[in-house]
């Protein structure tokens, strides 16, 4: 006998975001200490983390692992689309305009407002 279950995707998405945020909060001291010796250049770096989330039969998200060096190679057109968007969003966050048009060179813009108050002295 097969039973039908339903999932509230907005609730699932929020729970996945909650897992990712709590994981980042957990490692924040480690990340801060690793860039503390960079002096005035500490806002000139970023890191991409890959979160592996398993969703069980009751639609509970479970953290499997966090990768500090996730693969950016593409094995399918969907994978390429996701990773291209990821890199575009990442470049935008660090102040570089991204374009799919290969003829357009990236242009440095001002630092996004969200990062201006992150300086810890």
Q: What does the DSSP assignment read for 52-82?
A: EEEE-TT--EEEEEEESS-----SSHHHHHH
Q: Which of 83, 84, 106, 86 is nearest to 96 (CA)?
A: 106
pLDDT at 19 over 80: yes
Q: What are phi and psi of 44, to 5 degrees?
A: -105, 25
The C-alpha angle 109, 111, 112, rounded to 5 degrees, equals: 105
Report angle CA 24, 30, 33 to the nearest 5 degrees: 130
Query: At residue 18, does pLDDT exceed 90?
Result: yes
Paired residues of 50 in beta bridges = 67
pLDDT at residue 121 greater than cutoff 50: no
Q: What average pLDDT score do residues 67-82 get?
A: 90
- pLDDT for 101: 58
> Rounded to whole angstroms, how far apart are CA atoms 99 and 79?
18
What whole-number distance in Å separates Cα of residue 86 and Cα of residue 47? Answer: 12
């Amino acid at each position: 006998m097969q039973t039908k279950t339903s999932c509230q995707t907005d609730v699932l998405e929020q729970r996945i975001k909650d897992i990712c945020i709590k994981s980042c909060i957990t490692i924040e001291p480690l990340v801060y200490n690793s860039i503390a010796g960079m002096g005035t250049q500490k806002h000139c770096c970023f890191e991409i983390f890959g979160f592996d989330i398993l969703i069980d039969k009751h639609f509970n998200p479970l953290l499997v692992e966090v990768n500090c060096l996730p693969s950016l190679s593409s094995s399918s057109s969907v994978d390429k689309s996701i990773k291209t968007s990821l890199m575009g969003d990442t470049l935008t966050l660090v102040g570089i305009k991204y374009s799919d048009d290969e003829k357009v060179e990236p242009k440095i813009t001002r630092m996004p407002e969200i990062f201006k108050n992150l300086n810890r002295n």
